[in-house]
Chain A
Amino acid sequence: MKKIILLALFSALILQGCKKFLEEKPFDFVSPENVYDSPKGVKQLVTGMYGVFFSTNLFRTEAWIYLTSCDDDWTNGLDWVMGTYGVGNFTGGWVYNNSGNDPYYVFYRLIRATNTVLEVLPNVEFSAEETYLKEQFEGEALGLRAMAYFYLVQMYGPVPLRLRSDDPDNMPRSSVKDVYAQIIDDLHKAEDKLLLNSRRTSAIKRGHFTKGAAQLLLAKVYSTMGSGSLTNAQISVTTHASRTASGEIVRTSHTFTKNKVAGYDFDPKIVYDSAKQVVTRLINTREYELERFGNNWNPANFGGKDFVFALETDSSTQVAYTPYNKFFTPPGLKGAGWLTYVKDFYYIHDPDDERGMYGICHEWKSNNLMPNGVWKRQFFPAEDSNKVYEKYGKANVETNINSNSIYLMKWYLGNAANPQVLLNVNDAGTLISTPTQNFPLLRYAEAYLILAEAENELNGPTALAYDALDLLRSYRYKEDAPKISRTMTQEQLRILYLGRTK
């Protein structure tokens, strides 16, 4: 009997707590159960959505491809990259659905993160004073999801439309039309739910998606749909520019006939009308202001002015880790300098155009070509040097160096008018420090371009269109810059906005 009791005791010891014994307890990583059920966790998931922007394969390294090539014809870069992405072939190279090393994947990663937030939100109870966050976070997730799909549909056309994080592996593609329908639906909802930029709270710091961002993105979506749907439209594009000895700019332009983009079966009139409505709504909120080009990169102007939605940075995600460094910044300023302007293009800018003056780096140091690692000052182009230094507040420049073949760097790092100037005036071409610099994804200036575009396509070159462009000009040139000639045709006016002359 004793023995049987003993045996029973043994068994009892073992059988007890059996279920718990087999539960896996993670110690060195965080699992969804730890996060998904609390307001704090939801905030972390929301932050995690934005964190995708800093993925190595999104805006940390290759972002310029999506930012510029979807948007802009004026970029130039290394042959091996520009030969594929540069001509709009996003399926070339390593950039398409074959590794974690491509935008296709990273945008879907963002979509999965937004879907997760949308799924988790309804189950989480916020305190009374934070109830508004539920709406706001939902709007942010919808807005970012729309943004990701907008990039995807521009780059790859029909793509799988995933609206849940647990959608099956083998999802078919949805048509361009369906994807756009979803984007528009998401953005309309987001617009309703999001806070105005001026109404942001301490919980919604600068960098969160806001109502204005949703509106501007929506306007951009509509105008992209419209321009993609235009059939047999005539477009003039400036292809070459040079300067005469007297400084006069000679531009050559070429007129193309634009065909409809595959899958863009929208009625241009309807979508442009929507674009005009949305952008008018945005402008009427008076949430944002235009800013002089050179002042845009002043941290004081990051929120509430021209930067409607921008990539935020801090000391850990500072300039050395952002696209500025990798692609836009010359090597002497710690960058890799892949993204460049050629001299021919430089001359497209009027001499008074701040975009030429502040948007392009004129002077830097390089050890690229020099033996023994001696840094060499490089400057380009010589004829603008004194003018540039005047702007920088420094005269009597020793101009030297370089032939026409040297590239110019696209330059976003500040200017003389800005107290945060990054150039070291005592040792031109070097940085004083490694500053934080936000990177704009949506700018208010675009609102006026879209307004001009929509008006021109709907009603031709009316005063509304001319005024919008003139307003932008007044922030780019001297304030008394001459107004645009009022005698242009619809086709001629297109050059001003299809070139994305921001």
Chain B
Amino acid sequence: MLQDCNCFKTNCMKNIFLAFCLIICLVCCKIATAQNQTVKGIVVSEDGTPVSRVTVTVKGTNTAVMTNEDGVFEILADEKGVLVFSATAMETQEVPIDGRLNIRVVLRKYTKQLDDVVVIGYGSVRRRDLTGAVATLNSDELNNNRPLTIQQALQGKLAGVNVLSNDGAPGGGISIQIRGANTFSGSGEPLYVVDGVPINISNSSATPLEGTVADPNSYTKNQTNALAFLDPKDVESIQVLKDASATAIYGSRGANGVVIITTKSGKQGRPQLDFSTEQGWSHIIKFTEVMSAREYTQYINDVLYWTNYWRLYDPATGTSSYKPNPEDFPYPGIFDYAQGVYKKGPNDYSDERNVWQRAIMRSGRNQQYSIGVSGGTANTTYALRISRADQHGIVDNTRFQRNGFNFNLNQKAFKWLSLGLNSNLSYIKYNLVNTANTNDQTTMGLIKTAIYARPIDAEAPLSFLDEGGFYATSSPLAYVNTPDVTDQTSAFTNIYGEITFLPSLKLRSNLGYHYHQSQRHKYYNSNLYEGRHNQFGEGYAQEGFTRNVNMSFENTLTYDRHFQKHHLNVMGTLSMNQYEWNNQSMSVRGFGSDVTQGYDMGQAVGIPTLSSSKGQSNLMSYLGRVTYNYDNRYYATASVRHDGASNFAANNKWATFSSFALAWNAANEAFLRDVKWMDLFKFRFSYGYTGNQGIGAYASLARLIANNYPFEGTLNNGFIISGVNPGNANLKWETTRQSNFGVDLGLFDSRLNFTMDMYYKKTYDLLQYKSVAMSTGVQRMPMNIGAVENKGLELTLSATPIKNNNFTWDFSANWSTNKNKILKFGDNPDAQDLYGPYRLEGLILKEGYPIGQLYGYVEDGYWNSIDEYKNSSFYKYIQENDPASLPTDELIVQNYLGEIKYKDLNNDGQLNEYDRTMIGNVNPDFIYGFTNRFEYKKFSLNIFFQGVYGNDILNATLLNFNTTSTWPNRPPGLLDQAWTPERSVSNPEIIKYPKLGQNLNRSVRFSRRYVEDGSYLRLKNISLSYRIDKLFNLRDVKGINITFNVNNVFTITKYTGFDPEVNSAGSGNAAWRGIDVGAYPYARTYMLAMQVQF
């Protein structure tokens, strides 16, 4: 082969990694091979129209040309040669020349999907030969809505794949859950595999998790999107492995599903250069509605009025003797003659609502640029892309910047050896704000402060708002000017070599390396609450550094042979993986000046807090798979993986995971073979075991912790066993057993494809930190207890209802449902309240109920009169059991009248924790997405809807609206929907809030009031493109694509918060999904994109 192109061999072998040489080389090749006869021809489509831009190559050589506008080509080729015709969205065709000088070729439109090659981990198969449940997304589908990160692109596109944005921050983290939650302890994130290399980085929110006073270093943990380093434009395809047959090959890491990402490689043919640019603008869609300054002042007046009203309320007459006079109100709107000043009244204040939210929001600006070149010869292909993305968030001073470089190279060095490289370098910079991920009042965070801050302070300087009993927090505007910068550097390489021993026997060696480091700097200046209130001085700086290094080495031997009607594929792999991480963080208070923004930590007077950690986990595996297919009718697959993991406990170092699958394609049976419109009618069944290493490194090892003691006044080192990690040498992985039944249907030349999958998953030996008897001297330890099941149904449909010369309509839709249930919780079958990171009761883990079950009190209207309370069972209970503590009429007025009435569910006359019940479920009934794509001449229109139905959201933002002691801003409805004696008689149906007043003895109980329906249907993306094939007769410009794109066009939902897509905490723990604590809001984005191809 190489003899044809001597110049390539001599010039380029030495410089194999320099892509530019390849271009030069191509030119050389053209000259060198110009010795044969000229073959002319025309390429037409099935309907006879000429097809331009078809790459025509002489098979086995580097000679390639393209068809022109009229579909005509001219190429030098040997008369016995074979021409290869390939074009985007067309089926590749090989045509022998047979001495002809003029050739007419009919190219068929690509029968999409069925003949796609699907990467399934340690191998690939044609889609029509799949035996497992694998969902695929190609580059075009991926990039339709111009996503910044991979996961954004997956949302709503694949059945059974639930994508949850952690928040709306630029480049923010996203969680993916495949076929329901399997685990209580870990995040339940799938395994990501990029170009064959498993990625080992946590994939949490880009926004900072706030630390606590006890653990200030938790401030500096850098948790960002693990896959942000990859530009979706560099991605060729994404495969999501869902059933056991597909995932068991990843053994102890497969239980949560596997996402396989393949980056773009070059294709044989002339170099293709493309340049693309995107310019976008984003805006907030919706505010969390709070009062305007006028309403707020009115509200304060009302509260004071009602406070006095209740103070002078006479229970006997049911009226109050309170006579209001203007001096009682802070906002009377009168001229004070004594002081000679006009005191502002409510009507003197602004009518604009949500002023603080407006103050911190702005229009965000996005820009993306990328330039790429790709191409190749018969022996060498390459693809190179440089890109830059810069997205400003809608909250002031938030920004995501990524500079990326992606380079893929494949070289056939000898007849028996191929070599290649996939590499990616990226540098990411996040500018973050302190968005709330905690319900701790002392660390409110920006978004919550902007919701709760009093609107009358809008003109206040950039300082505190803690006067008047308000939260200990600072002005939202002060927060947005707080530097909080994270830099991430990622270097990814995968080098492979493939040896072909025999045509049917190949050995492939992969060496993957991923280096990822992240550094976060944060400074709270002396004007901020966090920066001021401390005995160690003003200004608080934090610096955190994280480094992850992941190496994998895999050797795969594949035997693949067709004989007669049999097709046998046997694969065996040895795999080693090493993952190492370390973190350092430091923080200090007490800076002389804010000028240096904490970059001079040595100057600070406070005592620095230092911490660091380091760890390593190793995995070594033997795995194999046998695939057999008879006559494309009967299929069988069996796979096994034997994993040895350092994470596993000493007595359980090795585990085996296996699966099998059977499939039958009825369409190829004799009785259906004549049905021409049926391409595929396949039944699949699979069964197998996978594991979850969520165990975490070192979880099984006993730890000693320092326990020092000062003998004779001098501290001595002492050790004691940890109270939570006393060691458990029998700790195991979680095991998931899954069965799957599926049907695939391909009709009318693949113009209609339908896939249905049903599955049942049971995960057992769940890893949990369980409380042990306190008398053991330890509190908790990791144990394998409990089981959870997931069962579901997934439907995918794609169709091309109309396809003619000028107009094409493609439609695709997916729908999936999953039911999750805890089968066994452990030794303690009782419910376990989850307080979580927000100190919220409300979520519960209980046998027979799903993970994400909401638990609370049931409301029963309001106490409308004193007598109503006196006639209640609560009053009777006290009368009978503790008459000394019977509330007086005055106390009933203060504590009950006009307050929320809760149901005494167990009828014991008391209201306590035993009166709680199941009040909601954060898991959706089903999720769905559908896309319509229209092509008319050179226009194409893409409309993508996505939705979730039947889930509840715990809206924690509302909880803070119900306290009585502080003065945060409130929802406007409080003014005319609060309980009053008149309303309780005249129109009780409008009452939505308990009575107003200060010093009320109100305890906020978690009830359905704080739970909202989270269902939504969203027009996620609409994009319109126009294609220009020619520009001013410029020869090299092959096409220009102009796209106008809108993301988050509208959302139909009843949810009252910023956005129904909430997952502030669930990224770290599957049991904490569906909580809204005021996360970064989502934006609507308008984008104009242009792509020029050369």
The contact of A24 among B509, B697, B778, by CB within 8 Å, is: B697
Within 8 A of B (CB), among A47-76: 47-54
Stretch from B399-407, B461-469, B639-647, B977-985 contacting the other chain: B639-647
| B555 CB contacts on chain A under 8 angstroms | 10-11, 14
**Distance between Cα atoms of A10 and B700 in the complex (Å):** 32
Interface residues of A in 130-181 (CB under 8 A from B): 159-160, 162, 165, 167, 169-171
Known: A14-B620, A22-B620, A162-B775. A31 touches B704 (CB 8 A): yes
Complex: A46 Cα to B719 Cα, angstroms: 8
Q: Which of B576, B697, B718 lies in contact with A21, CB distance below 8 A?
A: B576
Could you say which of A26, A48, A99, A105 contacts B718, with CB atoms under 8 Å apart?
Answer: A48
Tell me the smallest distance from the CB of B715 to a CB of chain A, in Å.
5
Beta-carbon contact of A102 and B774 below 8 Å: yes
Are B703's CB and A31's CB within 8 A? yes
Nearest-neighbor residue (CB-CB) of B616 within chain A = A25
Indicate if the CB atoms of B698 and A104 lie closer than 8 Å.
Answer: no
Q: Measured between alpha carbons, how far is A351 from B210 in the docked complex, in Å?
A: 56
Q: Does A27 contact B (CB under 8 A)?
A: yes
Bound Cα distance A162, B645 (Å): 34
Of B507, B612, B700, B776, which contacts A28 at CB under 8 A?
Answer: B612
Hey, which chain A residues are within 8 Å of B10, CB to CB?
none
If A22-B646, A25-B616, A171-B773 touch, whether A50 touches B718 (CB-CB below 8 Å) is yes
Judge whether A334 is part of the interface by a CB distance below 8 angstroms: no
Interface residues of B (CB under 8 A from A): 499, 501, 507, 509, 553, 555, 557, 574, 576, 582, 612-618, 620, 644-648, 653, 697-698, 700-705, 707-721, 723, 727, 772-779
A382 at the interface (CB under 8 A from B): no
Q: Which of A334-372 contact B (CB under 8 A)?
A: none
**Cross-chain pair count, CB within 8 angstroms:** 185
A436→B553 CA distance, assembly (Å): 58
The 3 closest A-B pairs by CB, nearest first: A112-B777, A47-B718, A51-B707
Asked if residues A28 and B644 are in contact (CB atoms below 8 Å), the reply is no
Give A375 to B775 CA distance when docked, in angstroms. Answer: 46
Is the C-beta of A317 less than 8 angstroms from some C-beta in chain B?
Answer: yes
What is the bound-complex CA distance between A109 and B644, given in angstroms? 35
Residues of B with C-beta under 8 A to A54: 709
Q: Which of A11, A47, A208 contacts B708 (CB 8 A)?
A: A47
> Beyond A26-B615, A104-B775: 14 further Cβ-contacts under 8 Å?
A14-B620, A18-B620, A25-B616, A28-B614, A31-B701, A32-B702, A32-B721, A45-B718, A97-B774, A170-B773, A171-B775, A205-B714, A312-B710, A436-B713
Measured CB to CB, the nearest residue on chain B to A162 is B775
**Is A270 interfacial (CB 8 A cutoff)?**
no
* Known A45-B718, A112-B721; contact A21-B618, beta-carbon cutoff 8 A: yes
Partner of A312, one of B499, B700, B712, B721: B712
- Nearest-neighbour CB distance to chain A for B60, whole angstroms, equals 25
Q: How far is the CB of B242 from chain A (nearest CB, A)?
A: 29
Q: Which residue of B lies closest to A113 (CB)?
A: B720
Given contacts A22-B645, A28-B614, contact A108 B777 (CB under 8 A): yes
Q: Find A44's partner among B615, B646, B648, B718 (CB 8 Å cutoff).
A: B718
B712 partner, pick from A23, A31, A205, beta carbons under 8 A: A205
Whole-angstrom distance between the Cβ of A74 and the nearest chain B Cβ: 28
Alpha-carbon distance between A53 and B718 when the two chains are bound, in angstroms = 12
CA A32 – CA B719 in complex, angstroms?
9
B interface footprint on A294-315 (CB within 8 Å = 1, 0 otherwise) = 0000000001000000001110
A-B CB contact pairs (8 Å), 18 listed? A3-B501, A10-B509, A14-B555, A21-B618, A21-B620, A27-B616, A45-B718, A47-B717, A47-B719, A48-B718, A105-B777, A109-B777, A160-B775, A162-B775, A165-B721, A207-B712, A312-B712, A317-B715
**Chain B minimum-CB-distance residue to A102:** B774
Q: Is the beta-carbon distance between B711 and A109 smaller than 8 angstroms?
A: no
Q: How far is the CB of A457 from chain B (nearest CB, A)?
A: 33
CB–CB B775/A208 < 8 A: no
Contact of A28 with B653 in the complex, beta carbons under 8 Å: no
Q: Decide: A7 near B646, CB < 8 A? Known: A205-B711, A206-B711.
A: no
Specify the chain A residue showing the minimal Cβ separation from B613: A28
Q: Which residue on chain B has the smallest CB distance to residue A148?
A: B777
Contact B777 A111 (CB under 8 A): yes
With CB as the reference atom, state the residue of chain B lying closest to A32.
Answer: B702
Considering the chains assembled together, what is the distance between the CA atoms of A99 and B717 in angstroms?
Answer: 27
Asked if A30 and B704 make an inter-chain contact with CB atoms under 8 angstroms apart, the answer reads yes
Q: How far is the CB of B503 from chain A (nearest CB, A)?
A: 14
How far apart sit A273 and B269, CA to CA, in the bound complex (Å)?
105
Whether B709 lies near A51 (C-beta < 8 A) is yes
**A50 B709 Cβ-Cβ under 8 A:** yes
Known: A31-B703, A207-B709. Contact between A51 and B777, CB under 8 A? Answer: no
In the bound complex, what is the Cα–Cα distance between A159 and B773 (angstroms)?
Answer: 12
Q: Shortest CB–CB separation between residue B502 and chain A, in angstroms?
A: 9
Contact B612 A29 (CB under 8 A): no
Q: Is the CB of A24 within 8 A of B647?
A: yes
User: Cβ of A313 and Cβ of B710 under 8 Å apart?
Assistant: yes
Separation of A49 and B717 alpha carbons in the complex (Å): 11
Beyond A35-B704, A44-B717, whether A7 also contacts B712 by CB under 8 A is no
Complex-state Cα separation, A28 to B697, whole angstroms:
12
Asked whether A162 lies within 8 Å of B776 as measured between CB atoms, the reply is: yes
B620 touches A108 (CB 8 A): no
Q: Report chain B residues within 8 Å CB of A43.
A: 716
Residue in A7, A29, A47, A99 whose CB lies within 8 Å of B507: A7
Residues of chain B with a CB closer than 8 A to A50's CB: 709, 711, 718
Q: Among B644, B646, B703, B716, point to the contact of A47 (Cβ < 8 A).
A: B716
Are A100 and B779 within 8 A (Cβ)? yes
Contact in complex: A104, B647 (CB < 8 Å): no
Is A378 an interface residue when CB atoms closer than 8 A count as contact? Answer: no
The answer to whether A29 and B707 have CB atoms under 8 Å apart is: no
State how many angstroms separate the Cβ of B557 from the closest Cβ of chain A: 7
Complex partner residue of B723 from A6, A109, A159, A436, CB under 8 angstroms: A109
Neighbouring A residues of B772 by C-beta, 8 Å: 169
Q: How far is the CB of A106 from chain B (nearest CB, A)?
A: 9
- Whether B612 and A169, one on each chain, are in contact in the complex, defined by CB atoms closer than 8 angstroms, is no
What residues of A have a CB within 8 angstroms of the CB of B779 in the complex? 99-100, 105
- Smallest Cβ-Cβ distance to B714: which chain A residue: A314
Contact of B719 (CB < 8 Å), options: A44, A167, A170, A312: A44
Q: Does A316 contact B (CB under 8 A)?
A: yes
A229 adjacent to chain B (CB < 8 Å) = no
Cα-based distance from A162 to B776 in the complex (angstroms) = 8
Chain B residues near A3: list those with CB within 8 A. Answer: 499, 501, 507
Contact across chains for B616 and A47 when beta carbons are under 8 A apart = no
A116 is an interface residue with CB less than 8 A from chain B = yes
Contact B509 A22 (CB under 8 A): no
Task: Point out the residue from A14, A28, A52, A100 that lies within 8 Å of B615, measured CB to CB.
Answer: A28
- Kindly list chain B residues whose C-beta atoms are within 8 Å of the C-beta of A111: 777
The smallest beta-carbon distance between B1035 and chain A, in angstroms, is: 49
Within 8 A of B (CB), among A357-399: none
CB-CB under 8 A from A207, the residues of chain B are: 709-712
By beta carbon, the residue of chain B nearest A105 is B774
Whether A10 touches B702, Cβ cut-off 8 Å, given contacts A109-B777, A316-B710, is: no
A303 and B700 CA atoms in complex are apart in Å by 43
Nearest residue (CB) in A for B722 is: A29
Measured in the bound complex, the distance between the Cα atoms of B709 and A54 in whole Å is 8
Which partner residue on chain A sits nearest B781 by CB separation?
Answer: A169
> Would A47 and B775 be within 8 Å (CB), given that A18-B644, A32-B702 are in contact?
no
Are A48 and B774 in contact (CB-based, < 8 A)?
A: no
Quote the shortest CB–CB distance from B553 to chain A (angstroms). Answer: 8
Please give the distance in Å from A139's CB to the nearest CB on chain B.
16
Asked if A14 and B646 sit within 8 Å, CB to CB, the answer is no
Residues of B with C-beta under 8 A to A52: 707, 720
**In this complex, which of B499, B653, B716 has the most chain A Cβ atoms within 10 angstroms of its Cβ?**
B716
Shortest distance from the beta carbon of B740 to any chain A beta carbon, whole Å: 31
A208 with B713: CB separation less than 8 A? no
- Docked Cα-Cα span, A105 to B723, in Å, equals 10
Assembly CA distance A30 to B719 (angstroms): 9
When C-beta atoms are compared, the residue in chain B nearest to A152 turns out to be B775
